[in-house]
Structure 1
Amino acid sequence: MSTSNALFTAKAATGIEGLDDILCGGLLRSHLFLLEGEPGTGKTTVALQFLQNGAKAGERSLYITLSETEHELRQGAKSHGWDLDENIHIFELTPPENLLNAEHQQSLLYSSDLELGEATRQIFEVVERVKPSRVVIDSLSEIRLLAQSSLRYRRQILAIKHYFVRYKATVLMLDDLTTEALDKTVHSVAHGVIRLEELNPNYGAERRRVRVVKYRGQKYRGGFHDFTIMSGGVHVFPRLVAAEHRSGYQRQTLSSGIGELDALLGGGIESGSSSLILGPAGTGKSLISLIFAAAAVARGEKAALFIFDEDLGLLFDRMKKMDIDLEMLQQTGNLFIEQVDAAELSPGEFSHRVRRCVDDRGIKTVIIDSINGYQAAMPEENALILHMHELLLYLNRQGAATFMTVAQHGLVGDNMQAPVDITYLADTVILLRYFEALGQVRRAISIIKKRTGSHETTIREYRIGSQGMTVGEPLDAFHGVLRGVPTYMGTDNPLLKDPRL
């Protein structure tokens, strides 16, 4: 894009895809914006990306630094693999030598008067010389200290604002909140305010989030949005709003490939629905979800598997013994597998990765194993419910079949509890249980809920072996199976006579 064309666009894009999404296009041109956050939250990185994006479009950009040196800025840019363009001018604002001289520090005039006036003069001079369309001033804390009073500080900010309006420059002022953190002077003067925050959980990496506090006369995406700083700059993950994503798809019933399991489910699982597989550890929750993934691949579709709790190598070996070769399915490109570290990944970034899989890869079967691990990434259960609600609604509207596993506390008995109750969010709930019979520990499966159609209300026994999962006939002659100690009420024991078991 040429310079003339770039300057005619209504907004100056920051070059950070997620941030531009939140700002609905970027920063409105010829206005002053405030980017605030404590030291280390990523303000300088955002500012450099903002200037770089302008330089790529042929715009002149100016970085005025009152706190960092030009060498430090270039080193920081180099750490992200950036070589600052010739269209990006860095002006290092330093006090004049005479103000550093002890003889001049006892002047009848306050040194702050001289320093503030001199700093402003230097800023205006370099703007006259460069004539930039994008400007970053780093940081306001230095100007606030020079001004000393709120009145002088406000007047100075207003003077800077009106000066840059004459040049139709888009100005981004950085504030590190190290002085007078409660001072909202620039909030009222700025056209928009963006705030960066850093959270420090008790365990794991720090979490960063961004919020648009104000954007005068413009629509923007409110609330907090997760972001990370990695090699290559800042990556923002806009909060997922399922209502914004609708797609037409043909609803169909998906088979697991196991006739008895399909019968229990009333024919199978519907596309565009979510299924929750609930049960204690070791009952085969992951296996059932992977059976549906393997069936999807066999139909010529693609599936995605997000693993929170288990090492991939161990999972590959375990499933291979049950006649499901995950490694082979992965190599064909039809099964996408990602190991998720809940201590390092924010919920917003996880939702973003799932969305990318569905949007970019055309994936129609998504497995999250398990919600227990996903919960570990969430500081509060209420936030988990909201995140899951939006994610599941989004996946349903894309026509994807979603499978989630939840490990309950305990093994046998009627005191089984889940760490978080999301059964009301799922369209189908598959319940797995251990029970004791004939001196052996056995497994039972039942469908507790299915919104998308009818299903069996029976309980069936199933076993896991070298051939995978086999499901038996309904246990009609027993009651108390879900409590773990069933009572036999009939004369023909299916546990003894079913040859498949």
Structure 2
Amino acid sequence: MSAEAPFLTALYKAPTGVAGFDELTGGGLPVGRTTLLLGGPGSGKTIFALGFLAHGARLCAEPGIFVAFEETADRIRTNARGFGWALDALPAEQLYFLDCIPSPDAVQTGAFDLTGMLAGLGAQVSAMGARRIVFDALDILLALLPDDASRRREVYRLHEWLIAQGLTALITAKAGGDPSSSIDGSTFGFMQFMVDCAVVLNQSVEHGVSQRNLRVQKYRGSAFNENESPFVIGSNGFDVAISRLLGGSDAQHTSERVTTGIERLDTMLDGGYYRGASVLITGFPGTAKTTLSGTFAEAACLRGEQTLFVSFDSDGSEVIRNLESVGIQLGPHVESGVLRMVSARTITGSAESLLVRIKAIAKEHKARCLVIDPVSTLSKAGNELTAHGVAERLIDWTKSDGITMVCTSLLDEMAGQMNGGTPLQVSTLADTWIHLNYLVQAGERNRGMSIIKSRGTSHSNQVRELILSSTGVTLADIYTAGGEVLMGTMRWEKESAARVAQEMADVQGQLKRVQLDAEEAELEVRLRSLQTVLVAKQVEKALLTRTTESQERELKGGRTMMRELRGADAATGQE
């Protein structure tokens, strides 16, 4: 009890260095306690354990001991050289290997216990100040004991020794109905109750595709993600795939825009794609999905941004040649190193393994822009149940790393969603969804493009005709006549007829304007003439008025003078 007392108040955790696992457990394995790792053959138990010790020795200043019951230390080191851990460079004071492989020729006579081995290990722990220890394939040793009672006794002995030493321990053992193990489930079922943390590794084959899953079965004193999480074994060892955890921090977002490579599409999207957004382009085969993603890749390269183009349909050289026919030049950018073309046409495997490979290549290339053509490949046979989760993690990863991703998908994925959904369902996750389709009219097949959604930005609701030519990719307005949408030659003919009609209307309008100008000029002349006559009449009238008034004054003055001369009666006003 006293040995466990320090952990009753706070549970410390030792990081394993296993990508994703520490996030699932909130930090790693419990410090000073024992963890049981169960799994069938080839499930990755030894790799997990080695990664745990290598991370402690290299990055956490925690020396470790690896006790091997199944393979020799030299074979283990050789097998681990492909993971980049540099175990050979670690001195024995940091990572010590102890071979405890039972000899196949040994003949057991009487009972035995682990006392001697644990005494030797105790001395080694003290000498090197070990903090971590791994017992790999403990079931091999326990199989030598005669019965379950003896096995439980030795498991108890080992557990008490680990508690007394205060070591962070990891015990691996076979499970899952492995025929090579003579230990039944009761022994490890008992151990699962005894240890503080239990992790189960599963491997299965679905339609010829290997699927690996990890589940934390128990973790005393700590919250943990108890659901199965897919994992792969890659160039760095274990890589556990996890989606964003509830309460986790959000990825950093920006309002910066990047061009689509097509000016009119940028206008339709009110400035282009958001930096770090995920873009989905769907359509039937031949609707120019690869072409549209190629314009984005070329524009990114012209900005000098490292770009990764993953093609599941064609070789990289074929993609470059095909896009050159529509004026998209990717070859020079491959030569300069800005663009990396990756062909995955013949690569098979689980969706998780494909995602890990893409992430590794993108990290190596320091990619800021990513094209996956088509992403629907992830949902091929054997991956139906995991594809949607992989798509979620793909988008979460690109967003967290600020990578702008454009991926294409065949139309059957979109059609499936309209009928209830498919395992992939990328369209529900993407920030921007562009759809390409065909319109067959008058013996022609023409391409149409529309924006179904674009989160966080205003966008056009109009359908545009996508036109491919040797000079590049352009978008044209469709022509509607009587409620019918016209594209291609019919649109050209209709537009030509409309232009001719407009030109004739313009000519008639010009003739009418000339006629009206002449009439206006004639009326203006007549108006000026009438205005002149009017002025003359007004002058004549004024002169007549003045003459009349002058005559009346003269007559009146003359009569007054006559009366004065004649002595007439002025009062009567008569002569």
Normalising TM by the smaller chain, what interval?
Answer: 0.7 to 0.9
Match of 2:98 among 90, 97, 110: 90
Per-residue CA distance 1:52-74 (angstroms, 9 max, x = gap)? 44444665543333344455445
Q: Is the CA contact 1:227–1:234 (under 8 Å) kept in the aligned structure 2?
A: no
- Aligned positions of 1:343-358 closer than 5 A: 344-351=348-355
Match of 1:129 among 123, 132, 152: 123
Q: Aligned residues, how many?
A: 466
Shift of 1:435: 2.2
Question: Which deviates more from structure 2 when the two are superposed, residues 280-289 or residues 428-437?
Answer: 428-437
Change (3 A) 1:210 1:468: same
Q: Which residue of 1 aligns with 2:66?
A: 63
Q: Is the CA contact 2:232–2:356 (under 8 Å) kept in the aligned structure 1?
A: no
Letter matched to residue 380 of structure 1: E
Change (3 A) 1:361 1:222: farther
Change (3 A) 1:73 1:298: closer
- Aligned positions of 1:163-242 closer than 5 A: 163-177=161-175, 178=181, 179-181=183-185, 183-204=188-209, 206-229=210-233, 234-241=237-244
Shift of 1:336: 4.3
Q: Is the CA contact 1:461–1:475 (under 8 Å) kept in the aligned structure 2?
A: no
Q: Is the CA contact 1:273–1:396 (under 8 Å) kept in the aligned structure 2?
A: yes
Q: Is the CA contact 2:241–2:393 (under 8 Å) kept in the aligned structure 1?
A: no
Shift of 1:43: 1.8
Letter matched to residue 447 of structure 1: I
| Structure 1 gap ranges (5+) | 1-8, 105-110
Change (3 A) 1:149 1:273: same
Shift of 1:222: 4.5
Q: What CA distance in whole angstroms lies between the structure 1 residues aligned with 2:227 and 2:16?
A: 19
Shift of 1:280: 0.8
Q: What CA distance in whole angstroms lies between the structure 2 residues aligned with 1:213 and 1:247?
A: 29
Q: Larger relative CO (CA 8 A, sep 6+): 1 or 2? A: 1
Give 3-state SS (helix, strand or coil) of 2:206's partner: coil
Give 3-state SS (helix, strand or coil) of 2:161's partner: helix
Q: Is the CA contact 1:46–1:233 (under 8 Å) kept in the aligned structure 2?
A: no
| Structure 2 gap ranges (5+) | 1-10, 176-180, 500-575
Q: Which residue of 1 aligns with 2:137?
A: 139
Letter matched to residue 407 of structure 1: L
Q: Tell me which protein shows more helix as a share of its residues.
A: 2
Q: What CA distance in whole angstroms lies between the structure 1 residues aligned with 2:81 and 2:338?
A: 38
Shift of 1:327: 3.0
Q: Is the CA contact 1:322–1:467 (under 8 Å) kept in the aligned structure 2?
A: yes
Q: What CA distance in whole angstroms lies between the structure 1 residues aligned with 2:421 and 2:283?
A: 8
TM-score, reference length from structure 2: 0.69
Match of 1:408 among 407, 411, 421: 411
Sequence identity, in percent?
A: 24
Match of 2:463 among 459, 464, 468: 459
Q: Is the CA contact 1:408–1:418 (under 8 Å) kept in the aligned structure 2?
A: no
Letter matched to residue 117 of structure 2: I
Q: What CA distance in whole angstroms lies between the structure 2 residues aligned with 1:470 and 1:172?
A: 61
Q: What CA distance in whole angstroms lies between the structure 1 residues aligned with 2:354 and 2:18?
A: 18
Q: What CA distance in whole angstroms lies between the structure 1 residues aligned with 2:468 and 2:328?
A: 13
Q: What CA distance in whole angstroms lies between the structure 2 residues aligned with 1:389 and 1:78?
A: 32
Q: Is the CA contact 1:194–1:213 (under 8 Å) kept in the aligned structure 2?
A: yes
Give 3-state SS (helix, strand or coil) of 2:428's partner: coil
Shift of 1:190: 1.0
Q: Is the CA contact 1:473–1:494 (under 8 Å) kept in the aligned structure 2?
A: no
Match of 1:306 among 292, 305, 310: 310
Letter matched to residue 86 of structure 1: A
Change (3 A) 1:302 1:157: same
Shift of 1:430: 2.0
Higher alpha-carbon Rg:
2
Q: What CA distance in whole angstroms lies between the structure 1 residues aligned with 2:70 and 2:87?
A: 21
Q: Which residue of 2 aligns with 1:27?
A: 29
Letter matched to residue 153 of structure 2: R
Change (3 A) 1:385 1:282: same
Shift of 1:418: 9.3
Q: What CA distance in whole angstroms lies between the structure 2 residues aligned with 1:194 and 1:167?
A: 22
Q: Is residue 2:297 matched to residue 1:293? A: yes
Q: Is residue 2:12 matched to residue 1:41? A: no
Q: Is the CA contact 1:364–1:401 (under 8 Å) kept in the aligned structure 2?
A: yes
Change (3 A) 1:456 1:16: closer
